Amino acid sequence: MAAPSGGRIGGGSASLWAALLLAAVALRPAEAVSEPITVAFDVRPGGVEHSFSHSAGPGDKYTCVFTYASQGGTNEQWQMSLGTSEDHQHFTCTIWRPQGKSYLYFTQFKAEVQGAEIEYGMAYSQAAFERESDVPLKNEEFEVTKTTVAHRPGTFKAELSKLVIVAKAPRSEL
């Protein structure tokens, strides 16, 4: 499958399916989805590349890695939340700034999943906070592949506050 543009894998029906999956996961009873793990970390300016990663699932089956470089004021507190479905076949990774908007200027970003393939990925310039809503990046600012959501050099406008990934374990052939 070729790398699609924007935040959708496989076109309209796949993005609709991913949206329905997200809604179903959100609306399921608490016992149907593992308790998400939320870990705080600092996003540091300075223009050099930094990475933060965390794993979830049985035996830490899935890993989410956030790699970035940014410029601007001081460190910002961000969070990474990881969760798996009850059958451990779906994995979610959300990376965001809880205060809604980052004041750092991102020169690059990439969120990568290991142990799964991305079915839905989206990047936002602003995360929901108080009365504000998520503000998605334009499709031309980022790209989604089977394992990454990353900035597009030359079109990314340096604003990032949230990344959302839903991935599925690869099928094992018998």
pLDDT per position as a tens digit, 41-58: 999 999 999 999 999 999
pLDDT of residue 30: 38
CA dihedral sign, ordered 17, 109, 162, 158: negative
* In the chain, domain spans: 37-168
What six digits make up the tokens of 24?
């179903």
pLDDT of residue 172: 66
Give the whole-angstrom CA distance, residue 82 versus residue 94: 7
Give the whole-angstrom CA distance, residue 162 versus residue 130: 15
pLDDT of residue 73: 87
**Model pLDDT for residues 113-132, shown as the tens digit of each residue:** 999 999 999 999 999 998 88
Q: Detail the DSSP E strand segments found in 13-49.
A: 37-43
Asked if 160 and 135 touch (Cβ cutoff 8 Å), the reply is: no
**Model pLDDT for residues 21-37, shown as the tens digit of each residue:** 454 444 444 334 567 89
pLDDT tier at 7 (50, 70, 90 boundaries)? very low
- Burial of residue 89 (CB within 10 Å: 0-12, 13-18, 19+) is middle
Average pLDDT of the residues in 140-144: 98
Asked if 40 and 81 touch (Cβ cutoff 8 Å), the reply is: no
